[in-house]
Structure 1
Amino acid sequence: MPDSWIDLPQDTEFGLATLPYGVYDTGPGDDRGTRIGVAVGSHVLDLGAAALTAGSPHADLLRTPNLDALLAAGRPVWDRVRADLADWLTDPAREEALRPHLVDRASVRLHLPFTVADYVDFYASEHHATNVGRIFRPDQEPLTPNWKHLPIGYHGRSGTIVVSGTDIVRPTGQRKPPTEPSPVFGPSVRLDIEAEVGFVVGTPSPMGGRVGVDGFADHVFGVFLLNDWSSRDLQAWEYVPLGPFLGKSFATSVSPWVVPLAALEAARVEQPAQDPEPLPYLRGTQPWGLDLRLEVRLNGHVVSRPPFSQMYWTAAQQLAHMTVNGASLRTGDVYASGTVSGPEVGQRGCFLELTWSGKEPLRLPDGTERTFLEDGDEVTITATAPGPDGTLVHFGEVSGRILPAV
């Protein structure tokens, strides 16, 4: 890839191999409102203004307050805009015209990058599902009989998806401690995270139709990090006989930068072997495992490094399963991988696993211990993936700090 006229150190967080999309303003008093930006090095490029200056035929799509119109435009436009971006940022003849549209990334205020339509969360890590099964059903098989036949998921609450940096108020609700004869009401005492990867749909599909595994790249625009905050005590009491509800719906945090699917070609890998072989609608001709390496920090201390390449079900299979019954896709639909966990203790993607449901407290470098999250705790999830020619694709971060219950 040619060099950019922007000074990009070799270890820059957002190089030309990434070029993620976000939505920003420059803070109070910015009368232009929110607009689409592309992160490049320590800068953000005002994409709409740059497209207008460069005479792009897609300038109207890009001079909008969020990514909605670009998402809906479809794969050919996504690819053209990304190719144009690379050309603009590597052509020295464009520097004079485009440099005025760069702002310091540290000075911008980032927003939710698109309008969230529906939200589905999956349960696709065999290591996570096995650990959870062993914790809650120690005398039974850890995996439920259907787990290796279909990607299990639940329909979540899109209205409480928030951008990274949003404080999370400790949820309150019913819980039933084992020592109590009946449920009690109050703040959750087993507040947890789930380190996940999110996917956003661009191209919709009609109700009654299906999207096959090989249709994944035609419908999914990009990838981001996601923290599915979870109240384990509320969840345990409400979980039978249906699924997650108040234990999950209070907040889900997402990273502000959406990495285009096209940036992850070098990160594609074969997924783990699937046995038994999935039904035909869950089979594809191309590998869609992704070699993403996550890192989870609690109050600045690394507590886990989950490997996304170990996920049993791929995002392409999840999309196929999500639509096989004829459910439609809408622009802005979000679906998440489920907790990312690996085979090692230091690769577990939630505190339920890391502390074995609180029985094995996690000791931090400052000498304190955690079983679940305390008020004031801040969790940050980051990730990288291999890029072309030895580069790294960075995803930025998703973070949130716990506030006391109200």
Structure 2
Amino acid sequence: MTVLDIPAGSPFGVENLPYGVFSAGDGSPRVGVRVGEHVLDLSIALGDAVFAEPTLNAFMAQGYDRWVEVRTRLQTLVTGEVPAEAVHAVADVKLHLPVDVADYVDFYASEHHASNVGRLFRPDAEPLLPNWKHLPVGYHGRSGTVYVSGTDVVRPSGQRKGEDGPVFGPSTRLDIEAELGFIVGAGTPANTPVSPDDFPRHVFGAVLLNDWSARDIQAWEYVPLGPNLGKSFATSVSPWVVPVLALAGARVPLPGQTSPEPLPYLRESSPWGLDITLSVEWNGQEVARPPYREMYWSPAQMLAHLTVNGASARTGDLYGSGTISGADPAERGSFLELSWGGRDPLTVNGESRTFLQDGDEVTITGAATTSGGAKLGFGEVRGRILPAR
């Protein structure tokens, strides 16, 4: 037996205990929980075969009461003695995609981001379209191209608007979107809408998410329908899933929604705004600090909207918040906004930059702050751009 060292103020302390899937040496992937700078193998520590699975799906499907039970056991266990053979240093393990992603939907829930994009693309019109404050706008993405942090991203090719008509080739306006992703643990059958207040009984946890975006491909294809090839080539997520049970301590009011008031199916008795701040690094230099607490639509409202038309929710469904941007220019969560459509280049390590070049690496980190002052770390989501093939 051994005692885990949990440094004071660690973002991976007993208030957090994020879940992930790891492998050590030649071992098979299995479920662990991060404690300080260690990973605890739950199949050994708790003696339960569900944690020897290569994804979190089987555990998540057991439902809310089981999530509460395991978290309560873990909070007691990690402050005492644990089996030594269950403990691995974070630096010594390989981290895997934590869930088998069922469906992927991405929303557009930041008023600051939506207004900035509106001003860029429709300078002579109102920044927000008439429906934006009435429903969480989103698009359906591809689950098969959701990758774990550290996976390289190949520059996509596709059609772009040229001077004399469409041209085909590698994207020249490759961008990021700094987001949070929410993972459904307990699904619902078809025609069973989830109310916003039932959100914590269905959503297991949250990850950092980077919805890589080819802005030139997207701009040509998205009228009159929605984003497709400009988005579907890669979406990256962090390997650690911070439980919604932990995030309950980071809840804050939503910043708007008084005029207009949402329709009844979107109303929350206690809003799920979250005090989470992200940091975006471009080749090692921080270029933005997007604040999630300024998002207009909450993740509970997004799930309610996803299911209100009769669509089912499945274990492993992933939905993104959309780009997180704040009111300050330094809080914008995409390079489209930070460079104002390429008009105002950034200086990154002494170089003038607008969109991503081959070899660039983007790292997004983030942490929630609870009402008691504890920090809940999400780790990082990182990706490097490879040339088009």
The answer to whether TM tops 0.5 is yes
What displacement does 1:60 show? 2.8
- Inter-CA distance 257–114: structure 2 relative to 1 (3 Å threshold): same
Corresponding residue of 1:55? none
Out of 3, 6, 28, the position equivalent to 1:5 is 3
Q: Quote the offset at 1:388 in angstroms.
A: 6.0
Q: Which has more strand, going by share of residues?
A: 2
Instruction: Name whichever structure is richer in helix by fraction.
Output: 1
In the alignment, the residues of structure 1 paired with residue 52 and residue 228 of structure 2 have an alpha-carbon distance, to the nearest angstrom, of 38
Counterpart code for 1:41:
G
Matched, 1:140 2:138: no
Counterparts of 2:9 and 2:356 in 1: how far apart (Å)? 33
CA distance in 1, matches of 2:38, 2:199: 31
1:17/1:388 contact within 8 Å kept: no
1:127-206 matches, cutoff 5 A: 127-177=112-162, 180-206=163-189
For 2:237 and 2:230, how far apart are their aligned partners in 1? Answer: 18
Structure 1 residues 273-303: Cα deviation after superposition (integer angstroms, max 9, x where no partner) = 2120010000011120001001100011000
Structure 2 CA distance for aligned equivalents of residues 336 and 329 of structure 1: 14
**Alignment correspondent of 2:382:** 399
The gaps in structure 2 that reach 5 residues or longer are: none
> What is the DSSP-based 3-state SS (H/G/I as helix, E as strand, rest coil) of the residue aligned with 2:230?
helix
Cα deviations across residues 240-296 of structure 1 (Å, max 9, x unaligned)? 111000000000000000000011122100001212001000001112000100110
Change (3 A) 1:49 1:34: same
Secondary structure at the aligned position of 1:218 is classed as helix
- Whether the 8 Å contact between 2:32 and 2:51 is mirrored in structure 1 is no
Counterparts of residues 31-70 of structure 1 (less than 5 Å):
32-52=27-47, 59-70=48-59
Shift of 1:5: 3.4
Paired letter, 2:72: A
Separation of aligned partners in 2, 1:389 and 1:359: 42
**Amino acid across the alignment from 1:226:** L
User: Is the contact made by 1:375 and 1:402 (CA closer than 8 Å) also made in structure 2?
Assistant: yes
Contact 1:17–1:387 under 8 Å retained in 2: no
Give the Cα–Cα distance (whole angstroms) in 2 for the partners of residues 145 and 316 of structure 1.
Answer: 22
The residue aligned with 1:122 is: 107
Q: Which amino acid aligns with 1:26?
A: A
The whole-number CA distance in structure 2 between the counterparts of 1:174 and 1:247 is: 9
Residues 251 and 370, structure 2, Cα contact 8 Å, conserved in 1: no
Q: Distance in 2 between matches of 1:299 and 1:16?
A: 32
Q: Which residue of 1 aligns with 2:66?
A: 77
Question: Secondary structure of 2:61's match?
Answer: helix
Give the equivalent residue in structure 1 for 2:24.
26
1:356 aligns with 2:340: yes
Separation in 2, partners of 1:13, 1:67: 21
TM-score (norm: length of structure 1): 0.94
What is the match of residue 16 of structure 1?
A: 14
**What is the CA RMSD across the aligned residues, in angstroms?**
1.1
Identical aligned residues as a percent:
61
How many Å separate the matches in 1 of 2:201 and 2:5?
Answer: 34
Distance 2:186 2:59 in 1: 10
Question: Is 2:204 the counterpart of 1:209?
Answer: no
Q: How many residues of Structure 1 are paired with residues of Structure 2 in the alignment?
A: 387
Shifted more, 5-14 versus 334-343: the winner is 5-14
- Equivalent-residue separation in structure 1 for 2:138 and 2:192 (angstroms): 20
Partners of 1:67 and 1:367 in 2: CA distance: 42
Partner of 1:339: 323
